[in-house]
Amino acid sequence: MDKILRKGGKRKGLTERTLVFLKPEAVMRGLVGKIVSRIERRGLTIAAMKLLQPTRKQAEKIYEVHKGMNFYEPLIDHVTSGPILAMVIEGPNAISILRNIIGKTNPIEAQPGTIRGDFALNVQKNMIHASDSLENAKKEIKILFSSDEILEYQKPTEAQYMF
């Protein structure tokens, strides 16, 4: 337990933070609670959460690596078309764990048991975004959250029963 706590109970560098957002179809289909509960039950921590309609500028920054691809403009139109639930999720190996929880990009290939494999049929309407690297997570978190919106706390179960 000592290994994961700094003096004062704050987290040490063993945890990662990742940016996750539920896309408009998840909010519109009323599946927010079901999806968030999968992240919680895995043991990860919600460090920040808000419902927002992202601006084009925010969406373009998040997806800038795909600029020029044929799906880029429709993707930006879609993600900015309605409310998204944005979260900063924290925990050991949070980035890889979230990528596994969400499943493959195209729901045709996503395994049952993953979010995309259980809730999606279409590659654009694939329910959820999660950062794919530490570098991108840091960049993406800053696009949607200010530092004072991200809380630092530890659930008692984490130290005693999770890691």
Residue 130 touching ligand RTP (CB under 6 A):
yes
Is 66 a known active-site residue? Answer: no
Please work out the total of residues on this chain that contact ligand RTP, with binding judged by CB under 6 A. Answer: 10
Residues 6+ apart with CB under 8 A from 67: 60
User: 39, 129, 141, 145: which is the annotated catalytic residue?
Assistant: 129
Mark 44-83 with x for binding to ligand RTP (rule: CB under 6 A) and - for no binding. ----------------------x----x---x--------
Say how far apart CA 115 and CA 73 lie, in whole Å.
24
Nearer to ligand RTP, 130 or 141 (CB): 130
Kindly tell me the sign of the dihedral angle through the C-alpha atoms of 137, 128, 58, 85. Answer: negative
Nearer to ligand RTP, 105 or 157 (CB): 105
Kindly tell me the sign of the dihedral angle through the C-alpha atoms of 83, 141, 73, 103. Answer: negative
* Token pair in block for residue 49: 């959460």
How many CB atoms are located within 10 Å of the residue 19 CB?
A: 25
Q: Could you give the residue numbers annotated as active site?
A: 129
> Which residues contact ligand RTP (rule: CB under 6 A)?
66, 71, 75, 105, 123-124, 126, 129-130, 132
